[in-house]
Chain A
Amino acid sequence: MSPAPEDEVRRRQRERARLMAILLGIFVVLMFAITIAKMSINR
């Protein structure tokens, strides 16, 4: 892989960080929904 210009590296890091934040948010919501669903089934 060739050396990368600094602004391109920064851009990709920013994009990936943003995406990771969104995915983590979705994961938290999903885990909450799964917990509620399991509780309602077991009730």
Chain B
Amino acid sequence: MPIREDAAIPADWRDLLALTKPRVMSLVVFTGLCGLLAAPVPVNAVLGFAAVLCIALGAGAAGALNQWYEADLDARMKRTASRPLPAGRMDKQTALHFGVGLAVFSVVLMDVAANHLAAAILAVSILFYVFVYTIWLKRRTAQNIVIGGAAGAFPPLIGWAAATGDVSTLPVLLFAIIFLWTPPHFWALSLFVRSDYANAGVPMLPVVAGVQSTRRHILLYTLPMIAAAVAPWAMGLAGWIYGAAAVGLNTAFLILALLVAANRTADPKHMRPEKQLFAFSILYLFGLFAALVADKWVLA
């Protein structure tokens, strides 16, 4: 059958993949995997793999639905203007169908492969990211990532629940670590891409409260994050390997947060401490969770 001349071109699969925000997904998958591996029960390799796959697909679905809703906003920001929707390489309906389909599939598969609790937490995390963070908070308040950060904190909880069928103190602490890590991480980024957020009308803290206030907030939120990060070791839920990693990583994080607080420039070109803190914060989370798994596997 001949194709109509005005037919829209079907979305390229690479653009569908880009909708899932693969780079963000890597951190989500890693923390979910660590939650699963840190659980005090043996996990069947196939079921463990399926659970991590579901976490990845759920994160991808949330990312796709986020890009579906924020296409207009992404078009106004340099950092996101080349995404498939703002760049005009895909229509919104395709993104919506893809996101919803992936979300439902990931939750159903999690229920089949793991258990009801893990599937329920996965569903809550997707709904929270889409409805609470993306639709409700992001365009309304400077506290968007403080509350919305909870969505990214669910993966270790899901991994743990998939392995054990319940939730105990350690996975809640892992949730708290990511929840409290998210504001300093995103605020460091938002300081040196402030004009992007301002142009797009997103009320990120540096846009609403100013650069210096954001720097103070970063330091302020670093302190409870450090407390949460050290807590598993202090409470005897993790051993010395995790303890040593937590002390080292948190000391480095605090030093960088202090350097950010001491910086006075408003020019992004001179925001070296902010860029260093942002880059290190990713390494920090990888290192902390890797240490938790190493601790469990080496000291077991």
Residues of chain A whose beta carbon lies under 8 Å from any beta carbon of chain B? 1-4, 6, 8-10, 12-13, 15-16, 19, 30-31, 33-34, 36-38, 40-41
Q: How many residues of B contact A (CB 8 A)?
A: 20
Name A20's closest neighbour in chain B (CB-CB): B13
Is A41 in contact with B44, judged by CB distance below 8 angstroms? yes
CB neighbours (8 Å) of B47 from chain A are 34, 37-38, 41
Q: Nearest 8 pairs between A and B by C-beta?
A: A4-B9, A37-B46, A1-B8, A33-B46, A12-B10, A6-B3, A37-B44, A3-B6
* Contact A30:B50 (CB < 8 A) given known A1-B91, A41-B44: yes
Is A3 in contact with B44, judged by CB distance below 8 angstroms? no
CB neighbours (8 Å) of B53 from chain A are 30
* A40 CA to B46 CA, complexed, in Å: 11
Binary per-residue interface labels of chain B (1-38) against chain A in the complex, 1 for a CB within 8 Å, 0 otherwise = 01101111111110000000000000000000000000
Is B46 in contact with A9, judged by CB distance below 8 angstroms? no
Is B10 in contact with A13, judged by CB distance below 8 angstroms? yes
- Is B135 an interface residue, CB under 8 A from the partner? no
Can you add 10 more A-B contacts, CB < 8 Å, to A4-B8, A19-B13, A31-B112? A1-B9, A2-B9, A6-B3, A9-B3, A9-B9, A10-B3, A16-B10, A16-B13, A30-B50, A37-B46
* A34 CA to B13 CA, complexed, in Å: 27
CB neighbours (8 Å) of B9 from chain A are 1-2, 4, 8-9, 12
- Is B88 an interface residue, CB under 8 A from the partner? yes
* A15 CA to B75 CA, complexed, in Å: 27
